[in-house]
């Protein structure tokens, strides 16, 4: 289908519904698992899953030239245009553009022109032809500025565009140079907002590390950096912002928190997708879980003692513990572990704790005889700090899975790691215990799910109380096993 529909996508469920229409002439009811979001307060009349499903049917119908179905779907999409947030109108306008739907395109263009979507976003999202149409509509309703004002505005715009281009090219050094040569700051350029929308996650981390931008700054539309990142749906970016102090409770002008934004972008099918041990977790669900947990976080971060005050034996013991702990985390929770490592501000390659590392755990370490004891100890301390930061992130954002690993390692260190040592009977017992760990891990996932159910009332009441546009009442959700 990707070869037949180069400008959009057609999912499995929507294609089956299209085939049913093709052979029977009747349109089946929309599957709720792909047309409703996971926000319990949403009425699902214009949330993103409903729009995306209609767009998938539209692309299939236009590709196979099913004119009757195209007209039916165009009417459905026209109903979404005024109800949906402007960001969700963008894919509708792109479908109208590619499928040559003049009526839908005109209404979408007018809707975007009336919105507060900035020029930078327009140019990033639309072809130049569409951008020109929107600007033309806006010019008809806005008085032109005086020449003096235009000159100042143009100078600022040039500086801002250079800053954005530097981030587009992943050139943080050029970004620093531009900031030093211009009066325009990162906040003036809303650089973090731009980076969270369009830049690579490494660039976002580097811009955050500069410490020159307000993490909770709102752009002219009233959106915080976290609100913009929520639409990106990248758990690594969300965790990086939360670590730097982003406020998960901030709401948009229409009363949506970052959590609600993520929920309204996430299909029920994706959220309730069964988690397979050792496989990637669904990113949409991971984003919702991280933000839900941050909204109700009521625990204190575990503080680690200063490793510089420990003896050499203590240092080796701690390294063994944390290395093995991170190794099991990467083996059993690859997506969660990667998020924790990336946001510990360390190179994931330096924490390459694969299954082969588990087999070597506890073995004699290679020693460089040219290194002084002080240098060797310093290296160990730095590695220990990296591992500790990773574990802290895991405990903060994925506590139940961390608890399983904590209990397991405390009970069975160090013998459990030598899975291939000893007699055949000893190896069998150790491997059987390892399989028990996997069962414990699965239970941890379900504990997180159960806790989400218990606390969903809190997150839903927080979001519903801040938005008069959403219906009252909170439901509970349970993930399918």
Say what angle helices 312-332 and 399-412 make with each other, to 10 degrees: 130
What is the count of structural domains for the chain?
3
16 pLDDT more than 90: yes
Has residue 3 been placed in a domain? Answer: no
Same domain, 48 and 157: no
The pLDDT, as a whole number, for residue 367 is 52
The pLDDT assigned to 355 comes to 40
Residue 452 confidence class, pLDDT cut points 50, 70, 90: low
Structure tokens belonging to residue 152: 């100042």
Domain that holds residue 182: 147-200
The pLDDT value given to residue 426:
60
Band of pLDDT at residue 186, cut at 50, 70 and 90: very high
Cα dihedral 454/302/325/393 (nearest 10): 70
Predicted confidence (pLDDT) at residue 65 exceeds the cutoff of 70: yes
| Final residue of a structural domain among 141, 174, 190 | 141
Q: Torsions phi, psi of 5, nearest 5? A: -120, 80
Question: Cα 476 to chain center, whole Å?
Answer: 23
Residue 427: C-alpha distances to residues 38, 331, 432 (Å) = 45, 19, 8
Residue 272 inside a domain? The answer is no
Does residue 329 surpass a pLDDT of 60?
Answer: yes
Verify that 350 and 423 share a domain, yes or no: yes
How far from 363 is each of 143, 312, 358, CA to CA, in Å?
75, 16, 10
Three-state secondary structure call for residue 144: coil
Domain membership flag for residue 38: yes
Closest of 331, 329, 343 to residue 294, by C-alpha = 343
For residues 209-232, average pLDDT: 94
Percent of the chain whose pLDDT exceeds 70: 71
What long-range pairs does 75-81 form, CB within 8 A, spacing at least 24? Answer: 77/51, 77/104, 78/103, 78/104, 78/107, 79/46, 80/46, 80/50, 80/51, 80/54, 81/107, 81/108, 81/111
* Residue 69: pLDDT over 60: yes
Instruction: Lowest mean pLDDT of 111-115, 443-447, 448-452, name the range.
Output: 448-452
What local confidence, expressed as pLDDT, does residue 20 receive?
94
Q: Is the pTM of this model over 0.75?
A: no
């Amino acid at each position: 289908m990707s070869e037949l529909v180069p400008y959009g996508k057609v999912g499995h469920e929507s294609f089956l519904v299209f085939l049913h229409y093709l052979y029977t002439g009747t349109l089946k009811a929309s599957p709720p698992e792909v047309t409703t979001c996971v926000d319990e307060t949403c009425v699902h009349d214009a949330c993103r899953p409903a729009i995306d499903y209609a767009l998938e049917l539209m692309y299939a119908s236009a590709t196979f030239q099913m004119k009757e179905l195209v007209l039916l779907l165009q009417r459905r999409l026209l109903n979404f245009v005024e109800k949906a947030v402007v960001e969700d109108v963008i894919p509708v306008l792109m479908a109208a553009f590619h499928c040559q739907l003049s009526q839908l395109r005109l209404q979408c263009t007018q809707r975007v022109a009336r919105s507060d979507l900035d020029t930078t976003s327009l140019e990033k999202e639309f072809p130049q032809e569409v951008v020109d149409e929107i600007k033309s509509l806006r010019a008809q309703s806005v008085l032109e500025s005086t020449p003096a004002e235009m000159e100042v505005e143009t100078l600022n715009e040039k500086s801002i565009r250079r800053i954005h281009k530097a981030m587009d090219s992943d050139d943080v050094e050029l970004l620093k140079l531009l900031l030093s040569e211009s009066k325009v700051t990162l906040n003036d350029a809303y650089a973090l907002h731009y980076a969270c929308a369009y830049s690579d996650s490494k660039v976002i981390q580097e811009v955050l590390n500069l410490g020159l931008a307000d993490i909770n700054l709102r752009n002219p539309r009233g959106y915080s950096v976290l609100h913009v990142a929520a639409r990106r749906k990248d758990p690594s970016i969300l965790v990086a912002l939360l670590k730097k102090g982003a406020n998960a409770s901030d709401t948009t002008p229409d009363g949506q928190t970052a959590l609600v934004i993520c929920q309204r972008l996430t299909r029920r099918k994706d959220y309730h997708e069964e988690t397979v041990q050792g496989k990637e977790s669904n990113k949409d669900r991971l984003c919702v879980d991280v933000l839900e947990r941050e909204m109700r976080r009521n625990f204190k971060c575990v503080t680690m003692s200063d490793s510089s005050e420990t003896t050499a034996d203590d240092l080796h013991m701690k390294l063994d513990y944390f290395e093995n702990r991170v190794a099991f985390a990467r083996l059993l929770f690859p997506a969660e572990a990667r998020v924790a490592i990336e946001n510990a501000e360390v190179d994931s390659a330096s924490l390459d704790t694969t299954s082969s590392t588990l087999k070597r755990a506890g073995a004699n370490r290679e020693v460089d005889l040219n290194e002084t004891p002080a240098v060797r100890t310093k290296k160990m301390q730095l590695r220990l700090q990296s591992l500790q930061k990773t574990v802290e992130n895991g405990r903060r954002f994925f506590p139940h899975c961390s608890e399983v690993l904590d209990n397991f390692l405390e009970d069975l260190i160090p013998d459990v790691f030598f899975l291939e040592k000893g007699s055949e009977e000893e190896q069998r017992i150790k491997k059987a215990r390892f399989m028990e760990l996997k069962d414990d891990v699965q239970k941890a996932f379900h504990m997180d799910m159960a806790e989400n159910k218990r606390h969903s009332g809190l997150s839903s009441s927080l979001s519903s109380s801040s938005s008069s546009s959403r219906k009252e009442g909170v439901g509970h959700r349970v993930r399918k096993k």
